[in-house]
Amino acid sequence: MFSQEKYLKALNYAAKAHGEQKTPHGLTYLSHLSAVAMEIIHACQEGEVKDEDTDFAISVALLHDVLEDTDLTISDLIEEFGEEIASGVDALTKDFKLESKKDQMADSINRLLTQNYAVQSVKLADRITNLQKPPASWDNQKIYSYYQDSKFILSCLKNANPFLSQRLEDKINSYRIYIK
């Protein structure tokens, strides 16, 4: 079983960092982070992953957006959680200095491919969680692009975790109903 103390440490840190941030559906951001962590927990149980690897993956899942969406720095994460977790979260963080979304996605995937399967699995779990009914503000082109990006992520990271890969493939197939 994973460590509840480590889970709560990462959860509380992320909750404080994200503050009043909301999901595109208006929910507290903690709901998204918890859903990603739940996907990781389930995948680790299905794959009989060692406890220390599960703790690592859950911590990265709960923290995966703190560098992208808050004022925290990688130094903050290193100080609080260590180099390995900070490096995993950093690999999951988009580089907004790159101009196009296509370049950001390619860079993200390239950095993820240098990480272990646990970090890559967080990307799969994040995308699984995000493949729900698109926000009303999204037009068909944005929905289609998100669908295509999801297929690209799966093609690149499918070896990270067979359980999550199948879950993502199923979610992608279900998501097609939103494309007009």
- Residue numbers annotated as active site: 68-69
Q: Which residue has the tokens 């709960």?
A: 62
Q: Is 26 helix (H, G, I), strand (E, B) or coil?
A: coil
Per-position DSSP letters for 79-147, written without gaps between them: HHH-HHHHHHHHHTS--TTSSSHHHHHHHHHHHHTTS-HHHHHHHHHHHHHH-SSPPTT--HHHHHHHH
**Residue of 113, 127, 112, 118 whose CA lies nearest to 58:** 118
CA distance 17 to 76: 11
CA dist 158 and 44 (Å) reads: 15
SS3 label, residue 166: helix
Rg (CA), the chain: 16
